């Protein structure tokens, strides 16, 4: 994982819905963040191996490798990044999602979300990291 000297916060958005990933890209870039998009957890793994991310916004349901699988991989390989995850989902919060959120203690942003909701949860997550 590269560790460049930088002040701009870098965010990885793991999202397979193009409209949602584009909203995230547009909103977060306007807020001054460097944003990369991964369409699933497998792509995200390669990107995380190559770059240092300040945190990840991870959709629970992506093809090839879903959010919970990616989170488990992060806990094993990059535990510092696993502590910097925000989960998203458009699904009704079932037992498996609820259980993961309770066990991980990570924030959750339900879809659909507004740009203001996205900005607020990202700002709060960054404050937690800096404490």
The per-residue pLDDT for range 56-84, each reduced to its tens digit, is: 999 999 999 999 999 999 999 999 999 99
Q: What is the pLDDT of residues 99-128, one digit of tens each?
A: 888 899 999 999 999 999 999 999 998 888
pLDDT score of 128: 82
Whether 4 shows a pLDDT value over 80: the answer reads no
Residue 60 to residue 66: CA distance in whole angstroms: 6
The helices-and-strands tally (H runs, E runs) of the chain is 6, 5
pLDDT score of 7: 80
Q: What are phi and psi of 57, to 5 degrees?
A: -105, 110
Whether 6 shows a pLDDT value over 50: the answer reads yes
Residue 44 to residue 25: CA distance in whole angstroms: 15
- Enter the pTM of the model: 0.91
4 assigned to some structural domain: no
pLDDT score of 2: 46
54 assigned to some structural domain: yes
Q: The domain containing residue 108 runs over which residues?
A: 10-130
Would you say 101 and 108 are in contact if contact means Cβ atoms under 8 Å apart? yes
112 assigned to some structural domain: yes
Structure tokens at 75: 């806990």
Q: At 95, which CATH number?
A: 3.40.50.2300
119 assigned to some structural domain: yes
Residue 88 to residue 85: CA distance in whole angstroms: 10
Number of domains in the chain: 1
5 assigned to some structural domain: no
51 assigned to some structural domain: yes
1 assigned to some structural domain: no
72 assigned to some structural domain: yes
Residue 86 to residue 72: CA distance in whole angstroms: 14
3 state SS of 101: helix
Whether 92 shows a pLDDT value over 70: the answer reads no
Tell me the average pLDDT of the chain: 91
């Amino acid at each position: 994982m590269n560790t460049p000297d930088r002040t701009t916060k870098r965010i990885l958005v793991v999202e397979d819905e193009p409209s949602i990933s584009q909203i995230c890209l547009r909103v977060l870039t306007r807020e001054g963040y460097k944003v990369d998009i991964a369409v699933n957890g497998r792509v995200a793994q390669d990107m995380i191996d190559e770059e240092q991310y300040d945190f990840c916004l991870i959709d629970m349901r992506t093809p090839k490798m879903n959010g919970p699988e990616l989170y488990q991989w992060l806990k094993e390989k990059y535990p510092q990044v696993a502590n910097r995850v925000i989960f998203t989902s458009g699904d009704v919060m079932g037992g498996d999602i609820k259980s993961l959120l309770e066990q991980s203690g990570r924030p959750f942003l339900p879809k659909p979300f507004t740009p203001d909701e996205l900005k607020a949860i990202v700002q709060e997550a960054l404050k937690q990291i800096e404490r």
